Amino acid sequence: MLRGVRLRPPLILLENVPGFLTSGGGADFENALLALNEMGYVCDAFLQDARKFVPQSRVRLFVIAAQGVHAEPVQGLTPSALRPESLVDFVLSHPNIQWSIRPLPETRHTRKTLQTILEDLPDDDPNWWSPDRAVYFMNQLSPKHLAIARQMIACPYYSYGTAFRRIRKGRSMAELRVDGIAGCLRTPRGGSGRQILFKAGNGKYWVRLLTARECARLQGIPDDKFKIEVPLNRALFGFGDAVCVPVIEWIVANYLTPLATELLRTRLMSPSSLDIQLEITDGRDKCREGRDEMAQVM
């Protein structure tokens, strides 16, 4: 802050869960964008799924607010993977918000699967649950999910699934996911927030929690760039509350960098910027004249 003047960043990136779009019947999202408008920002919004980059289902709502960008009436906006119908409807039904909607490229789903991010732990590793605890997990499965688990056990090869515990009709139950994609990582508030790995095949099965390293990989964090030196629960809390790195890299490459380049180019070509450049040039010329006069005197 300089003499009471607030210095605000030219670009702001916000991230939230998709439910923010409908929170309070849409009023919470509207108020947040209007508050940004009042501070001199125009807004854009889109959804992106970490599943496009890593084997984790993690849809998030992103808002980009920019200064120095002209708000424009929204025309011809149609639903897409990045801006689904619910978001398009919100944008079109809120002309009171100052929008600047930019085109974005579609992204394909990664070919990586759950198995590609798993640590190669031996079957007797202490991370695997005891037989009694594994049986308890099986007993928590619904008849539908238990049938899937038994099919996996009967296969002549190993396959993998993940599970979360949920309360169904007052009872704690485990729901199995076997499409090769992990569920959305969460902060471990109680037992239900920790994601379970199920490995089965050749008539056997094993159960354990996802490791901290596996959660890091699901967030797109390279093994050699981040050391994990905290207890498991603390690590799971951190990764469950984090953003997926490749998603942010995609936003930077496809939105923030091009927009920042445009804003910088506009500022460099603005009259005020040219005046500053002329003043600097004029000052340099006067310095040269002063040096020449001193040389003549000496």
What are the extents of the domains in the chain?
A: 11-109+245-261, 120-210
Q: How confident is the model at residue 288 (pLDDT cuts 50, 70, 90)?
A: low
Inter-CA distances, 237 with 43, 57, 176, 257, Å: 30, 17, 22, 30
- pLDDT, one tens digit per residue, over 56-66 is 999 999 999 99
Residue 42's SS3 state is: strand
d(C-alpha 193, C-alpha 166), whole Å? 9
| Per-residue pLDDT tens over the stretch 102-129 | 999 999 889 999 999 999 999 999 999 9
Question: Looking at the predicted structure, is the pLDDT value of residue 276 above 80?
Answer: no
Strand ranges across the sheet with 11-16: 11-16, 59-66, 42-49
More confidently predicted of 294 and 108: 108
Does the pLDDT value for residue 1 go beyond 60?
Answer: no
CA–CA dist 274, 130 (Å, integer): 72
Where do runs of H (alpha helix) occur along the chain? 27-38, 85-92, 131-140, 143-154, 212-218, 232-240, 245-251, 257-268, 271-297
pLDDT tens per residue, range 70-83: 999 998 999 999 99
Which pTM value belongs to this model? 0.84
Please give the pLDDT value at position 61: 98
- pLDDT surpasses 80 at 43: yes
**With contact defined as beta carbons under 8 Å apart, do 189 and 241 qualify?**
no
* Dihedrals phi, psi of 192, to nearest 5 degrees: -75, -15
- pLDDT for 271 equals 54
